Structure 1
Amino acid sequence: MKALIYHGARDVRVEDVAHRHDPAKVGLRLRYCGVCGTDIGIFSGKHPRAAAPLVIGHEFVGTVCDPLPEGRFSTGDRVVAYPLISCGNCYPCRNGSPHVCQTLRLIGIDCDGGMAEHVDVPEADLFAIPAALSDEVAALIEPLAVVVHSLYKAEFQPFDSCLIMGAGPIGLLTAIVARHAGAGRLLISDIDEARLSICRELGFETVNVARESLAERVAQVTNGDGMGLIFECSGVASAAIEMSELARVGGTICVTATHKDAHPVRLIDVNFKELRVIGCRVYTKEDYARSIDLAVELQDELRSIITQIVPLSEAGKVFDMIADPSLTTVKILVDCS
């Protein structure tokens, strides 16, 4: 089969590789696989667990081609995969939170993933997708589940005023879901004008923080109160130090982005404003199931964040595309068919 293989830092190649089906798992013929920020980290050689050679990709949709003899799925069923691999033995696994397993692993990072023609997945980790959901939008279920999980963790309530820091795929998906869930005043901030333009096309109010003070805009739209709910989706140091200043008294900050370096945070704001700062990591299987239902409702809006579809034969170019400032890339899908 053909697959995009990570061979080391900045070295990925589409190659013909042997694929021997694991009879204990369900074999999938892959349709689409999304390119994620984690994949960018692997490509750059900075992911601590990704070991070459590796088929990357964990946001994928496919069709069952090798079902289990007495399994839940039949040949031709369309499915998405829950890519988390938990140990089952550590404290969070024993206490109902396997998604934050102390040795959490993922398909496409710790074992071969979905930027290929075929992959094998345990049946328990597969979810059927309805006929009403297109393959392209189904490839967004994994990042959509991140967002669904973050809204639950933040205890989102209708009419909450929301600030979303970062207009990448997760930030834009957060805006779409929060609006659908009944958010009140909603702002999205970023420095990328092309991405903010996509946000405006979808009807969102934006702030380009390279040109305008975010603190001043928040004060203006909230009459000086600050935002009730902030989703930090950018992962940058400046957002970490600014987010508490932008929150209202008694507000909530949900840190959705992964901050891999230590950043200063204004803890005095956390004290004086009695803020809740919520950590958020990946998703549960319940979040996955909810995301499939939600994707059917929001299909047209979700499709708008797919900015490029690249055939598998040219998948080695996707990281150069993402780095190219002349291209507007929000979510790239690899067409594995």
Structure 2
Amino acid sequence: MRERIAFLAALAVAALVSALLFAPRLRRPPEPASGASARSPAASVAPPEPAPPPPALVAPPRPPLPEYVRVNPASATACRAGMVLVDGIYCPYVGHHCAAYIDEEKDICARFEPEVLCEGRLQRRRYCIDVFEYPNIEGVVPVVMVSWLEAKRACEVEGKRLCTVEEWEFACEGPQMWPYPYGTARDPDACNIDRKISMPALETFSDPWKISAEVERLDRRVASGEMQRCVSPFGVRDMTGNVDEWVHNELGNLDEKPFRSTLKGGYWGPIRSRCRPITSTHNRWFRFYQVGFRCCSDTLDGSKAVTPAERTARIPRRSPMADPGGRQGP
């Protein structure tokens, strides 16, 4: 909690300093000219009527959510504030086939075939996830330069935990099992992806006098929620692009590859930026200019986060993917 309070206090101090810097300065009234006779109260000019107060600032209305988004109405009672409920049937192994590559070597796909493959024993998943990347505040850029251990601790301070790989994937792809949180075709205008990047000067990251300026030079983050169409079927924002997100890989190792400390989602650069790919090559102390996280938690009603799916639950091994427009496939 102290870390959270310190972070919010820093924001408050910054806002106060800005207000003091930009507030109009008070001026002393002008001195009367020498030799000028003082006017009697009766001859004084009446002060002008005060100007009417400016109209209250009203935030512009938020655009409606895309039609494919279904925020679970139980989120308000099942989850803490700022989180949404993810509840549904999760497929452990999902396969997509790229129909048109942007860069096949880097596995960057413009459009996927309309069929999705599902393998493995189905699971019922029910848990809560932060709507935004940490600190989970709309309009604030997500934190970066945080290690897996620091991210894990920050979530625990709030009574939450790092998302598992599977929790993160399901919250991103939705029951549709989309490759992207918004559908089957890559859209650089939906999420903060495919931006021009600068090559980092790696030697500066070990120099405390230079690292801040280097991170600022490389930074292409946007504020959480700024990309209005970057929202998953469950109503989770910015899951692909903006910053890489630490997750807990239960199949990973603590001290050797593949690591338990795993990254999901990609950042603002031209990389895969999809729901299923993972990067498990960084240890738990790794920090970098584009690495952040978000938190998950069990529900407040105490239900289990993962259970075997009901016997009646069915996902065909091969099934068509409906895109956001309601059509089958791209």
Shorter-chain TM-score range: under 0.3
More strand by share: 1
Query: What TM-score do the two structures reach when normalised by structure 2?
Result: 0.21
1 or 2 for the larger relative contact order (CA 8 Å, sep ≥6)? 2
Higher Cα Rg, which structure: 2
- The structure carrying a bigger helix percent of its residues is 1
